[in-house]
Amino acid sequence: MNTNKNTEAQRLTFAEKLYLPELAKGMSITFREMFKPKFTRQYPEQRWDPTGSYRGRPVLVLEEGKERCVACGLCSLVCPAMAIEVQAAETENEKERYPEKFEINMLRCIYCGFCEEVCPEEAIVMSKDYELLFSSQKDAIYGKDRLLVPVEQLQDRLDFLKEYK
């Protein structure tokens, strides 16, 4: 037995129950809006260029052909979604440590930007890239090949960090 005595249908007034006046009301809004200026972006023909403050997918900064990252593993530690895996190894460079493997599981990433905030080398930053496509779970794990981005392309974000971080 239905004991619910106060359903949506029971709360309607008589005018509302007639339906036609409500239809007219709705259509009037529709027609009014048709002649107002449009805000919809015709994506993907028309793309949006985010500002430096936008947190798109995290990327590694590539500077002078080398990654800035020293594989300290702090991003991996701070990542609340555990998206990042870092495996360090030794190099002959002055900074003797570099990431042999750096993988971000983009299915896990929640774009919080903690990795960028904790990074002592400003080596991982949030990019403007918001278009992420993958066809399988494996495909969603980004390695160094897809993560390294030349520093010139990330200047907006680096300037933003300089000012606000």
Asked if residue 58 lies in contact with residue 116, where contact means CB atoms within 8 angstroms, the answer is: yes
Asked if residue 113 lies in contact with residue 127, where contact means CB atoms within 8 angstroms, the answer is: no
Q: Which residues contact 156 (CB under 8 A, 6 or more apart)?
A: 51, 52, 128
Q: Is 85 in the site for other proteins (CB under 8 A)?
A: yes
CA dist 149 to 125, 129, 152, Å? 10, 11, 8
Q: Is 63 in the site for other proteins (CB under 8 A)?
A: no
Q: Is 145 in the site for other proteins (CB under 8 A)?
A: no
Q: Is 140 in the site for other proteins (CB under 8 A)?
A: yes
Alpha helices in the chain, H assignment, sequence order: 8-11, 14-18, 20-34, 74-78, 114-118, 144-147, 155-164
Q: Is 22 in the site for other proteins (CB under 8 A)?
A: no
- Least distance in angstroms from the C-beta of 105 to other proteins: 6
Q: Is 6 in the site for other proteins (CB under 8 A)?
A: no
Q: Is 66 in the site for other proteins (CB under 8 A)?
A: no
Q: Is 97 in the site for other proteins (CB under 8 A)?
A: yes
Among 49, 90, 145, 163, binds other proteins (CB under 8 A): 90
- Beta strands 84-90; 97-105: pairing state: antiparallel
* Site residues for other proteins per CB under 8 A: 70-74, 76-77, 82, 85, 87-90, 95-97, 103, 105, 107-108, 120-121, 137-138, 140-141
